[in-house]
Structure 1
Amino acid sequence: MGRRFRRLDDPANFDIFQRWRVLMPPSSSETASQGVPVDEYQQTIRALSDRIVVAQTPIRILDAVKWDETVRKDFLAAKGKAFPAVDRAYYENRPLGFDSVALKQEFQNIERDVTRQLGQFNPVGQIMRRMCREYRMVVRMLEARGTSDFGLISQELYGAASDAFHAGDPTLADLGLMLSDYLNNIAGRGDLKDEPKTLTAKDAVSLLQSRLNRVFGEAEETIRVFESDGIVADAAAGADYIKIRTDAMFNERDVRALEVHEGLVHVGTTLNGQNQPICTFLSKGPPSSTVTQEGLAILMEVIAFASYPSRLRKLTNRTRAIHMAEQGADFLQVFEFYREQGFGMSESYGNASRVFRGSVPNGLPFTKDLSEGFHHGLQLHSAGRAQGQA
């Protein structure tokens, strides 16, 4: 029996057609000025979308959960023998910067208006409602900083190391261990030794800025690269900028990886979202987009030959550390895990604090970093299935 094709005016195809209408830029015949919604339907979506963008503006997840420099200095002064001085009161003394009750209500109002104005089954409306629900959950998670609920909500938003792709399959933690074994075999090869890190943060900023200018344009200063002493990672991307940690050291490989991962993917996709004329919410990334973002970034590193064994080990170590914390390991045990991997005290503290930020030193972990391990696990698992080994 031949394949049946539905007519374009078939009601079953209406949502697909509407999705195409909204996500595709308007043609010159549809709009008097480029990027301006021209009919009531598009105007409704744009108005609701803009409300989401405005409502999420004060939410700064990583700023809200990070531990300050005093905690690090006190921990290192104690030679890593005492828990970091972080508890519920620590976070209560660091307000979120917004009214959490009012913000949750605003997302509830937007979700209700999306349903009322676009209907229950409109595809764009479904995306916006999901974003509203996620942002409400994010606010709940930040309200719960320093409590057991923080880690539980984090697992709902970002997943857990015990998650599996399919029933009976290895978990993310299992796949992380498998990849670590592969990397151990690679480590013995002399031709894959790490390059010495001779570039300061200032050097990396200059080099990365020049490379991104060639891609995005120097005149417009589309992407700004600058030093910062307020981040845990070596680098972090914002909407139109990349921050480099002031005391970090780099080599050429590191800068190339940052160019691809932070610049071409994270900032590049954000800039693309900002150019959307109707669905402006596409410029923002709720937690559910993290797996896609990190997966695309890691895939691009591989395609561009910008990744390397020690970088992959950094990602698998994060998965293993989160799994340890989920199984009951405390901060000192995770800190010692990193020491056993050959890291110094300061770097081991930084890695362990990524696991417990937002939580307490003997609490459940913040699982956002699993997104990168998720993609590596998926690649490894897919390769195993292809060879009949999974």
Structure 2
Amino acid sequence: MSTLTGQRLGPALDIDARLTGLERTVDLLLNLTPVNAAEAWVDFERSDYGSAPTLRLRPLDFDPDLVRRDLYGLEIENVTDPALHALLRSKRDEIARQVTALEDRDTSRFVYGSLQLYGGITRVLAADAEELLRLIPAQVPSGRSVTAGAFAEAARAEFHRYGAQYPGFPVNVQVREDISELMVSFGQLLIPEAAAIRADRVEALLHHEVGTHVVTYQNGARQALKLLTIGLPGYDETQEGLAVLAEYLVGGLDPRRLRVLAARVIAIDQMLHGADFLEIFESLRADHGIPARTAWAIAIRVVVAGGSVKDAIYLRGISRLLDLLAEGVNLDVLFVGKLAVDHIPLIQDLLDRKVLEAPWVRPRWLDVPGAQERLDGIRAGMSVTDLYEGAVPT
């Protein structure tokens, strides 16, 4: 970025940095992750699946009112670049919604905040999910798994592979007892201490978590616009769509995984229509042949905090990416940082004006043997149900 450009965009970049810091303070993802999921599963199993779990969330370590004061004290009106003005204003409002959602945890109001942040279930999305569950036979649970420690070792090796090609690429892996799901938070890969990860999913998960979420974080960290590390407004759907695409291109989007993505949409739809945890859990098992442990994991992610619709973004995200790739959209712009497909024109404009730079790191999953052939197939036109490559029931 030139000195002249930096001076002209100074107010925008200052507000960008302050918004980035405020979202790190709020930490929506971690604050919606149960701290007792492993113990709750043991209790649920002992009850013969008859007693709904009580999920505990960590106390908020920030004052919501102070965060709001800081948010609305930002002088966004001084940003003269129209595109950046709209972007920063939208991001400020998104963080405010996150704060309200976190205040509303474990109340009937929370689901409405989740809908504002992530959107609902369309008829088309629900129909695609139902079709995937109809097409893909119920799967026998995998027998072999790896421990959190073994997965952490594989993850560190993956970080080092990136570091060998891109010196300075940091290794950020933690095994933690206070989380229940594998996640990337601000560039750090967090692994639940109690995790038992399917051995045949390890490679796909590394490309999902490190090759997508960490790579886009690190690319964003080298941009003038620091919001590209934490995500532009509504980035989640595109980010998870990219991560699922990575799984597909490396041959790791197997039938079990596709069934899980579809079942998440169905579970959310049921929750929005009034189903409780036990009803969702039993429906996943009885109606769709989802194994008990998997049905549990899907259901708790849906009912957490009072009802979360976040998990619909995986299937919706990959569906939208399939359409865009068929239209000829170039993936490279999506690696600049964490952004939504709706931001592509803005990001391209900022690239053209040298406000942003081309991505530092290229994801390894683009160069895995067979990836280009799969990508060519997508560009020729594919629907989300075409991602299933097995036998189709007659």
The TM-score with structure 1 as length reference comes to 0.75
2:312 maps to a residue whose letter is: L
CA contact (8 A) 1:157 1:287 kept: no
Deviation at 1:211, TM superposition (A): 2.5
Q: 1:376 to 1:178 in 2, by over 3 A?
A: farther
Greater CA deviation, 325-334 or 217-226?
A: 217-226
Deviation per CA, 1:171-227, whole angstroms, max 9, x where unpaired?
32111101222223xx69xxxx87642422222221222123112339746132332
Q: 1:197 pairs with 144, 159, 165, which one?
A: 144
Deviation at 1:140, TM superposition (A): 0.9
- Aligned residue for 1:135? 95
- Aligned residue for 2:278? 332
Aligned equivalents of 2:10, 2:322: Cα separation in 1? 44
- Aligned residue for 1:226? 174
SS of alignment partner, residue 250 of structure 1: strand
Is 2:231 aligned against 1:285? Answer: yes
- Aligned residue for 1:4? none
- Aligned residue for 2:212? 265
What are the ranges of 5 or more consecutive residues in structure 1 without an aligned counterpart?
1-25, 32-36, 164-169, 360-364
CA contact (8 A) 2:241 2:319 kept: no
Deviation at 1:40, TM superposition (A): 2.5
Greater CA deviation, 333-342 or 141-150?
A: 333-342
Is 2:48 aligned against 1:79? Answer: yes
Q: 1:60 to 1:76 in 2, by over 3 A?
A: farther
Q: Trace 1:48-127 onto structure 2 (pairs within 5 A).
A: 48-69=15-36, 71-85=40-54, 94-110=58-74, 113-115=75-77, 117-119=78-80, 122-127=82-87
- Aligned Cα root-mean-square deviation (Å): 2.9
Q: 1:245 to 1:338 in 2, by over 3 A?
A: farther
- Aligned residue for 2:10? 43
Is 2:315 aligned against 1:369? Answer: no
Q: 1:315 pairs with 261, 265, 274, which one?
A: 261
Q: 1:39 to 1:287 in 2, by over 3 A?
A: closer
Aligned equivalents of 1:343, 1:68: Cα separation in 2? 24
Deviation at 1:254, TM superposition (A): 1.1
Q: 1:231 to 1:287 in 2, by over 3 A?
A: farther
Deviation at 1:65, TM superposition (A): 2.6
Deviation at 1:249, TM superposition (A): 2.6
Aligned equivalents of 2:6, 2:178: Cα separation in 1? 45
- Aligned residue for 2:340? none
Aligned equivalents of 2:322, 2:135: Cα separation in 1? 10
Deviation at 1:150, TM superposition (A): 0.6
Deviation per CA, 1:48-95, whole angstroms, max 9, x where unpaired?
111111222211223323333254444444333223346xxx76xx53
- Aligned residue for 2:305? 358
- Aligned residue for 1:294? 240
CA contact (8 A) 2:240 2:318 kept: no
Deviation per CA, 1:259-307, whole angstroms, max 9, x where unpaired?
211111111001111101x212211125611011011111222223232
Aligned equivalents of 2:32, 2:226: Cα separation in 1? 27
Deviation at 1:370, TM superposition (A): 0.8
Q: 1:384 to 1:126 in 2, by over 3 A?
A: same
Aligned equivalents of 2:276, 2:154: Cα separation in 1? 39
Aligned equivalents of 2:96, 2:305: Cα separation in 1? 17
CA contact (8 A) 1:237 1:267 kept: yes
Aligned equivalents of 1:304, 1:79: Cα separation in 2? 38
- Aligned residue for 1:182? 135
Aligned equivalents of 2:145, 2:44: Cα separation in 1? 27
Aligned equivalents of 2:31, 2:229: Cα separation in 1? 21
What are the ranges of 5 or more consecutive residues in structure 2 without an aligned counterpart?
324-380, 387-394
SS of alignment partner, residue 199 of structure 1: strand
1:118 maps to a residue whose letter is: V
Q: Trace 1:12-23 onto structure 2 (pairs within 5 A).
A: none
The TM-score with structure 2 as length reference comes to 0.74
Identity of aligned residues (%): 25
Greater CA deviation, 265-274 or 59-68?
A: 59-68
